[in-house]
Amino acid sequence: MQRMNIATDTRSRIIAAAKPRFHSRSYANVGIQEICESAGVQKGSFYHFFPSKRDLVMAVIDAFADEWANGFVAEAFDPALPPMERIDYLIDAAYFWQKSIKQVHGRMLGCIFGNLTLEVSTQDDILRAKLLAIFTRAKSRFKETLEQAVAAGTIPPLDAGLTAEAMLAYLEGVILLAKAQNDPELLYRLGPAIKTLRIELSGD
């Protein structure tokens, strides 16, 4: 059991070293060697736990997804909140998170899922599928929320699935533009407009 903990420790030290690097730079720009040095681990140990760089980045994706799912996302999609306020909350959370990262790191890092998607999805279908699954789950959260808002009469009926996808796209797009400006304040200015997006039910 002791061994298990040590092993887990090495593995998680690698992930902990990799996370901020993949977030702040890019997949291709971060090398295994650098991660090993930062984690205090030898090459051989690294490849004991991860068959390839791709497997590492997948673990990093999971780590970020868990962090979000257990943090801001869980707070935002609290069933106790009125549906549309959950969306406000999520936008706020994204804004404050990006802002705090910029204060510490000096730069807007954006969304790691979006970053990786645009970098690797033409080159690696396995990574693309992994990232797509993250987006699909996020879309479901939006969709449920919209359905509840419609059921509650807060908003008129609409195509919840497509509108959810549109909202997710908008959020990613705003983060992209904010990153181009290195300014999280754009999220503050543009974020709330996410609720104006609407796709009507197609007539059939």
Nearest CA-CA partner of 105 in 15, 179, 6: 179
Q: Identify which of residues 50 and 170 has a Cβ nearer to its own copies in the complex.
A: 170
69 binds, among its own copies, DNA, none (CB under 5 to 8 A by kind): none
Cα 177 off chain centre by: 16
Q: Identify which of residues 33 and 123 has a Cβ nearer to DNA in the complex.
A: 33
How many angstroms separate the Cα of 50 from the Cα of each of 46, 60, 169?
6, 11, 32
For residues 53 and 98, the answer to whether their CB atoms sit within 8 Å is no
Of the candidate spans 48-56, 57-65, 118-126, 143-151, the one that interacts with its own copies by CB under 8 A turns out to be 118-126
Of the candidate spans 34-42, 70-78, 111-119, 143-151, the one that interacts with its own copies by CB under 8 A turns out to be 111-119
Binding residues for DNA, per CB under 7 A?
Answer: 2-4, 6-7, 10, 30-34, 41-45, 47-49, 51-54
How many angstroms separate the Cα of 11 from the Cα of each of 5, 110, 127, 158?
10, 25, 20, 46
Nearest CA-CA partner of 69 in 138, 150, 158: 138
Residues that bind its own copies (CB under 8 A): 24-26, 28-29, 107-110, 114-115, 117-123, 128, 131-132, 135, 162-163, 165-166, 168-174, 176-177, 179-182, 186, 189-190, 192-193, 196-199
